[in-house]
Amino acid sequence: MIEVVDLTKSFPISRQQRRELAAQSAAPSKTAGRPGASATNLQAVAGATFRCRPGRVFALLGPNGAGKTTVLRMIATLLRPDGGRISIAGVDALADPVAARRRLGFLTGSTKLYERLTAEENVRYAADLHGVAAPDYKRRRDALFGALGIEAYAGRRAGQLSTGMKQKIAIARTVIHDPEVVVFDEATSGLDVIAARAIIQLIKDCRAQGKTVLFSTHIMSEVTMLADDLAVFHRGRVLAGGGLEEVLARAVDEHGQRRTLEDEFVRLIDAAEAELGEARP
């Protein structure tokens, strides 16, 4: 289970960022163009609340800059929120980040493997950091390397591997300690279809094992293919959410026709932007 309640985070912004945001918003440059933004701060996450349940896949769906990575990094205890609560498998992630990390696997698009270590050493190192016992390591390592088709590359240095292969090693490293909760931040971006499929399959396997899976994306097909639940995220807030079927069932146009997820997504974002435009001085 992942529970996120009223999460907030703002960043000090550079002059360059301020110029970009002012241009986007067509608002006076005194504001940074987002709710809660000031001349020097940008409210990246502005009161996010959602819950991801075990044995289900939850998609955080939002456009570029919505704040998805910031939320996920806070859940992964890599970034400290300004406010709010995060619970990971029953552990308060702010009070006890070490215990939360033990229950969590986090995968991003940038794999950051140790290039001079072999594929096996990278995975082993992560297992050692998590205190995985030798027999458990052997069993899980064999299962993962087999499932991901990386056995033949186990002894190769990570720096010599292709992007897709590196990502597969990173996947093995993410789940080698058998975490209850797995978080993927746009993990398929920039990958070829074969490598992307490996991640998609891993997400399905995690769900089948009863793990809680959270992934961020802006790709609708990934959501319809994988998600049980979703939250449409924009400007640091959840605009709409619930079970995928439920969200789609609510998405009906003025003629009573069902909208696609993409159409519903665009409608929600446009409505939020229009509301923001009206609220601006």
Instruction: Give me the residues that bind ligand ATP (CB under 6 A), please.
Output: 11, 13, 42, 44, 62, 64-70, 218
CB neighbour class for 44 (10 Å; exposed up to 12, middle 13-18, buried from 19): buried
First and final C-alpha spacing in the chain: 41
In sequence order, what are the residues at sequence separation of 6 or more whose Cβ sits closer than 8 angstroms to the Cβ of residue 190?
Answer: 109, 163
Q: What is the closest distance, in whole angstroms, from the C-beta atom of residue 17 to ligand ATP in the complex?
A: 6
Nearer to ligand ATP, 47 or 65 (CB): 65
Nearer to ligand ATP, 64 or 257 (CB): 64
Q: What is the closest distance, in whole angstroms, from the C-beta atom of residue 121 to ligand ATP in the complex?
A: 30
Residue 130 · residue 177 · CB < 8 Å: yes
Residue 229 · residue 216 · CB < 8 Å: no
Residue 84 · residue 2 · CB < 8 Å: no
Residue 75 · residue 185 · CB < 8 Å: no
Q: What is the closest distance, in whole angstroms, from the C-beta atom of residue 60 to ligand ATP in the complex?
A: 8
Nearer to ligand ATP, 70 or 87 (CB): 70
How far is 226 from 228, CA to CA, in rounded Å? 7
Nearer to ligand ATP, 76 or 165 (CB): 76
Q: What is the closest distance, in whole angstroms, from the C-beta atom of residue 163 to ligand ATP in the complex?
A: 18
Residue 25 · residue 69 · CB < 8 Å: no
Nearer to ligand ATP, 122 or 188 (CB): 188
Q: What is the closest distance, in whole angstroms, from the C-beta atom of residue 62 to ligand ATP in the complex?
A: 5
